[in-house]
Amino acid sequence: MLNLACDRSDFSYEAACDPAGLPARAAIYAGDAALRQQIAEDLGGAGFRTIDGGTIASLLEGPIALLGDVVVVDCPVTGTRGLDGLMLAGLARLDMRVARAGAKLIVATNMAGLDDVFAVLDQSSPQILVSPSRAERVIAVGRVMGEAGAARLREMGEEDRIALLRLSQQVEAIAHSLDRLSQREMQPGSGGNATLGEFRTRFRAAEPAPAEFGGPPTGFGGPAVKLPDPRVVRQVIAHRQARGRFFDPALFGDPAWDMLLDLTAAHAEGAQVSVTSLCIAAAVPATTALRWLTQMVESGVFIRVPDPADKRRAFIALSDSSLAAMAGYFASLREPATLAA
């Protein structure tokens, strides 16, 4: 785990060590040599030993020999067609190799590549970053090393996991604030809710229309539950988003509940929900949303549903127990007026 010591003039890092006390190694894969060098410098300054793994294409050529305690991969989508088959094959191969070796995998992509990356990485419990800053990469490597050390000491309970998630969310918020302070030239936006709505419209439009499924989608089975009219749930979501027009949206970060609401409405509508769409619904940075999503899948609140028509995609849905819990929650709201609260 990273140990930070500072004086009044600058910041300096002690060496980051693995559980055996040796300096931790981080293997770096990226198509851009300059980016690999930048990541190596950042991690080296934080006390990690780095290994230049080369391009993503090297993952397909011969044995994957360059593995460290942490493997860092950068694979954003630069076109409009998503990640190509060779890159996905390389990531899948690395995913299996990392899982067998007991290493930690961190993959950085952008929103255009998120669904492909999430679907293909299903063995190593990777941490996925979305368009990360330099600070967020270093924080991510330090976090997975800390998690690895904690896992060796004792099994993490649910309270520990939630506490770690909330602490990670706070650290990421600090990193974003520092990035904003160092980038004064950022253009003013039209407001967080407007941006959220635009993104949700765009990604939902690209997903299969609910009418194609003729009811609850395949793979979403389970007992029938009495869910409210999806318009009621969407109204609750709209009310939650409206708060950001009058207060700082950061005051209301509650990604788990926002995702639960979105999946409840989608189930009642008979719609599939992609990882990208659900991260947008969480109303927090995509990397933070992914961490919560992963935890919810691991704890059984959400389930991962492979797309039978496209093996590169995976949808997210509520588990049977979560559907029953959401039905019970809405049934407990006796008066419609309470839905606005």
Domain that holds residue 278: 192-340
Is residue 95 within 8 A of residue 56, CB to CB? The reply is no
Q: How many whole angstroms separate alpha carbon 264 and alpha carbon 221?
A: 14
- For residue 158, the model assigns a pLDDT of 56
| Within-domain flag for 187 | no
Check whether residue 213 and residue 166 sit in a common domain.
Answer: no
- Given a cut of 60, whether residue 75 has pLDDT beyond it is yes
pLDDT, tens only, 16-36: 555 555 668 889 999 899 999
Q: Does residue 104 come out as left (phi exceeding 0), alpha (psi in the -120 to 50 range) or beta? A: beta
Q: How many whole angstroms separate alpha carbon 89 and alpha carbon 94?
A: 9
Please give the mean pLDDT across all residues of the chain: 75
| Within-domain flag for 247 | yes
Check whether residue 159 and residue 253 sit in a common domain.
Answer: no
Check whether residue 121 and residue 233 sit in a common domain.
Answer: no
Is residue 259 within 8 A of residue 281, CB to CB? The reply is yes
pLDDT, tens only, 123-154: 898 999 999 988 888 888 888 877 655 444 34
- Higher pLDDT among residues 157 and 298, named by residue: 298
Return the closest-CA partner of residue 60 out of 82, 87, 97.
87
Is residue 232 within 8 A of residue 264, CB to CB? The reply is no
Check whether residue 252 and residue 324 sit in a common domain.
Answer: yes
- Given a cut of 70, whether residue 209 has pLDDT beyond it is no
Q: How many whole angstroms separate alpha carbon 205 and alpha carbon 202?
A: 5
Is residue 136 within 8 A of residue 172, CB to CB? The reply is yes
Please provide residue 71's backbone torsions phi and psi, each rounded to the nearest 5 degrees: -115, 125
Q: How confident is the model at residue 188 (pLDDT cuts 50, 70, 90)?
A: very low
Task: Identify the bridge partners of residue 314 per DSSP, sorted by sequence position.
Answer: 306
Is residue 260 within 8 A of residue 322, CB to CB? The reply is yes
Check whether residue 246 and residue 108 sit in a common domain.
Answer: no
What angle in degrees, to the nearest 10, is found between the helix axes of 255-269 and 320-331?
90
Check whether residue 285 and residue 322 sit in a common domain.
Answer: yes
Q: How many whole angstroms separate alpha carbon 272 and alpha carbon 262?
A: 11
Check whether residue 143 and residue 219 sit in a common domain.
Answer: no
Alpha-carbon torsion (158, 161, 163, 165), positive or negative: negative
Check whether residue 168 and residue 257 sit in a common domain.
Answer: no
Q: For the residues 248-261, what does the mean pLDDT come to?
A: 88
CA 108 to chain centre: 10
Q: Of 182, 214, 243, which closes a domain?
A: 182
The pTM score is 0.69
Give residue 145's identity as a one-letter amino acid code. M
CATH value at residue 145: 3.40.50.2300
| Within-domain flag for 128 | yes
Check whether residue 244 and residue 145 sit in a common domain.
Answer: no
| Within-domain flag for 295 | yes
CATH value at residue 233: 1.10.10.10
**CA geometry: angle at 288 spanning 284 and 291, to 5°?**
140
Check whether residue 10 and residue 159 sit in a common domain.
Answer: yes
Check whether residue 196 and residue 62 sit in a common domain.
Answer: no
Q: Of 182, 211, 233, which closes a domain?
A: 182
250: how many CB neighbours lie within 10 A of its CB? 12
| Within-domain flag for 166 | yes
Q: How many whole angstroms separate alpha carbon 76 and alpha carbon 312?
A: 16
Q: How many whole angstroms separate alpha carbon 75 and alpha carbon 64?
A: 17
Q: Does residue 102 come out as left (phi exceeding 0), alpha (psi in the -120 to 50 range) or beta? A: left
pLDDT, tens only, 282-297: 988 898 899 899 989 9
Is residue 61 within 8 A of residue 103, CB to CB? The reply is no
* DSSP one-letter string for 169-217: HHHHHHHHHHHHHH-TTPPP-S-HHHHHHHHHHHHHHHSPPGGGTTSSP
Is residue 317 within 8 A of residue 302, CB to CB? The reply is yes
Check whether residue 150 and residue 227 sit in a common domain.
Answer: no
User: Could you tell me the two tokens for 26?
Assistant: 């981080």
Q: Of 136, 163, 182, which closes a domain?
A: 182
Strands 49-54 and 25-30: parallel
CA 306 to chain centre: 18
| Within-domain flag for 292 | yes
Q: How many domains does the chain have?
A: 2
Residue 308 carries which DSSP code?
A: T
| Within-domain flag for 319 | yes
